[in-house]
Every structure is written in C-alpha cells, then in structure tokens.
Amino acid sequence: MYRKVFSNFQRIFSPNLRTQQKQEKRFTRACRRVLGKAIGDNHQAILATARKHKFIFLKNQYIKFPIRHLVYKKSFIEPNPEDYPFLVPFYAKRHLNENKTWKNINTLSKHLNPPTPSKITPKPPDVTEPFNPIPNMFIPKKYRDIIPKDPIYVNNCFITPGSREWFTYMYNLEKSIDEQAEQEFNERVHQEVTQAFERSHIESKKGEQKK
C-alpha cells in the first residue's frame, strides 16, 4: 500500500574536529562495505547495489522500498477506509467512482480531525434536597475534620462528594493545610528564638552596666 522514500542525502558533521574525523571514517567504511559488492565498476552497477541495500550516498539519489506490514486486504478493488485501522490512499479514476472517492475523502478527514468529545460535567445536587458534604463511604480520618460544608466547585464544575475528583481535591486541601501549619510553626519558632536572643542581649547589657 505504501512505500518509504530515502532522498536528499546530506552529510552533517560534528563541529568537534575529533568527532568529525571519526564520522568521516565511518562513512568511508560504510561506502566500502556496501559499494564493494557491486558487480562491475560502472555507475549503473554501483547505484543498483546501493538501491538493493537501501543505501544512499549522493544528494540526487533516492531509494523507494515497500512498507510490508501495511497491505491491502483485497486486491483489485478500491479500498474501504472502514476496513483498516490506519489511513488508506484513495483514487479518483472515473465519474462512476465519484461518490466512493468523496466517501474516502470524508473518512480521511474524520481520521485527521476526530471530533472533540464533549466534557461531561456532573450535575450539582438538587437544591430541593439538603446538601450532604460527607459521602456515604469510607473516608480517611485525616479528611474528616477538613471536609468543606459547602458544595465544592473547580473551574465552575461541581465536584461530587466521594468521586475521584473529590478525593484529589481533599488530598490537595490536606496538603496545603499541612504546609500552612508547618510554615506558621517555623515562623513562630523563628520569632521565639529572635525574642529570646533579644532578651539575652538586653540582660547582658544590664549586667555590664551594674559592674
């Protein structure tokens, strides 16, 4: 069904002189290994050998070879894109095939531009019923005292208590509370140490004045 093409050969060497010399030697060895198998010294024999071994060494040289795992399921008929898990080529040969061709084009467009699935947003709880922020399921002890009493919304989307999004929200909430508590503790310790240092400094000055 498809062929791969090797063309536009370029030699791009490393700016490092030592690495460049090694690359030159490897390229020379590759040419000697492949082109040395040519039967005859003429230009056509050398190109044929390079083509056989899928080896290019000239800028104007190109090689085509088939991709063997992408094949038609049926021969001598137009392919149906729905029968393949990958894109297939389509052809327009006769007016009678116009509808078939447009079908293939539409299918190709569908593969290239798949429809964006609509985001399902859980509905908020019914306002006529009292909202229960605690889901009827096992809740880790560390979450029980920090569950918000009001409905939770993230990016204007309601988070159903007990859902995966809800547990993610509670994890982040508990983590932020711990970080805030740790920060407040560090600030309090720093303040107490500073005050103790100031008191010690004042007392030492008073002692010197008495002497």
Tens of pLDDT, residue by residue over 121-168, are 555 555 456 778 888 888 888 888 888 888 888 777 888 888 888 888
Judge contact between 92 and 101, C-beta under 8 A: yes
Domain ranges of the chain: 1-71, 74-115, 141-210
What pLDDT is attached to residue 211?
A: 60
What pLDDT is attached to residue 156?
A: 78
Residue 22 pLDDT level (bands cut at 50, 70, 90): very high
Which residues, at least 6 apart from 112, have a Cβ–Cβ distance to it below 8 Å? 87
Q: What is the pLDDT of residues 74-126, one digit of tens each?
A: 776 777 777 888 887 765 444 454 555 445 555 555 545 555 555 555 555 55
Prediction pTM value: 0.36
Helix (H) or strand (E) run with residue 193 in it? helix 164-210
Q: What is the pLDDT of residues 58-68, one digit of tens each?
A: 888 888 888 88
Q: What is the pLDDT of residues 165-191, one digit of tens each?
A: 888 888 888 888 888 877 787 777 767
pLDDT average, residue stretch 14-42: 86
Single out the residue of 151, 144, 100 nearest to residue 126, CA to CA: 151
**Count of CB atoms situated within 10 Å of the CB of 163:** 13
| C-alpha to C-alpha distance for 109 and 64, rounded to whole angstroms | 27
